[in-house]
Amino acid sequence: KQQILTHLNSTCINCSACPLSKCGRKQVVFGHGNADARLMFIGEGPGRDEDVQGYPFVGRAGQLLTKIIAAMGFERSQVYISNVVKCRPPENRTPLPEESGICKNILLFKEIEIIKPAIICTLGVTATQALLGEGVFMSSVRGKFVEFRNIPVLPTYHPAYLLRNPAAKRTVWEDVKKIMAL
C-alpha cells in the first residue's frame, strides 16, 4: 500500500489541477502516516506550518490532534492523516468547492481506496462535506457514524475549532470514544 501511495503522490508533486496551485503554495502536502492504518483522519487543508514543513497537521491544531490520538491510545505512526486539499489556501481560507472537488478526486478518494481504513474520522465541516455531500450539516452528523463507500465515518470538530473553543474538547472526547468502541 505504501508503494502505491508513494507512486500516486509522486504523480502530483507539481500538480496544477486546481487554482490552489497558483495561490502561493510552497509545496504539495500529501497525506502521511501508516499505509496499513485502520483509522484515518481527514482535515481541511495545509496551513502555514504544513506548507513549510510538508506534512499534514504539524502546527498548533496538529499538536492538539496528536494529543487526541495519544489519548485514544495510539501514536501518530499508527494512523493515517490527510486533508481534503493538499495545497495551502491563501490566508488559510476555506477551500472553494471547485478546489476541493478536484483535489479529493485525484488524491483523497484514491488514498481512501488504497488504505481501506476500517474507520474514518472527519475533522470539521470541510472534510465532512467532502465525503458526505455539500448539503450536510455538522450539527446533524457530528458524533454519529455515517458511511462513505461502505466505510464508517465519524465526523467531529476540527482541532482548530477546539483551540478557539476549549469547552468543545469534552464533546470531541465523547466522539472519539465511539471510534475506540467500534
User: All 3 cell numbers of residue 79?
Assistant: 494512523
User: Rounded CA gap, 38 and 161, in Å?
Assistant: 25
Q: Closest separation between CB of residue 181 and ligand URA, Å?
A: 25
1, 4, 8, 17: which one binds ligand SF4 (CB under 6 A): 17
By CB under 6 A, tell whether 108 contacts ligand SF4: no
9, 83, 122, 129: which one binds ligand URA (CB under 6 A): 83
- The entry of ligand SF4, ligand URA, none that residue 44 binds, CB within 5 to 8 Å by partner kind: ligand URA
Burial 43-54 (b: 16+ CB within 10 A, else e): bbbbbebbbeee
Site for ligand SF4 in 73-92 (CB under 6 A): 85-87
- The entry of ligand URA, ligand SF4, none that residue 83 binds, CB within 5 to 8 Å by partner kind: ligand URA
By CB under 6 A, tell whether 21 contacts ligand SF4: yes
Sequential DSSP letters for 103-141: HIIIIIHHHHHHH--SEEEEESHHHHHHHH-TT--HHHH
With respect to ligand URA, which residue has the nearer C-beta, 56 or 117?
Answer: 56
The continuous run of DSSP H or E covering 40 comes out as strand 39-43
> How many CB atoms neighbour CB 118 within 10 A?
13
Q: What track of x and - describes contact with ligand URA for positions 154 through 173 (by CB under 6 A)?
A: ------x-------------
Q: Closest separation between CB of residue 96 and ligand SF4, Å?
A: 10
> How many CB atoms neighbour CB 116 within 10 A?
14
Work out the widest C-alpha separation in the chain, in whole angstroms. 43
The site for ligand URA (CB under 6 A) is made up of 43-47, 50, 56-57, 59, 61-62, 83, 160
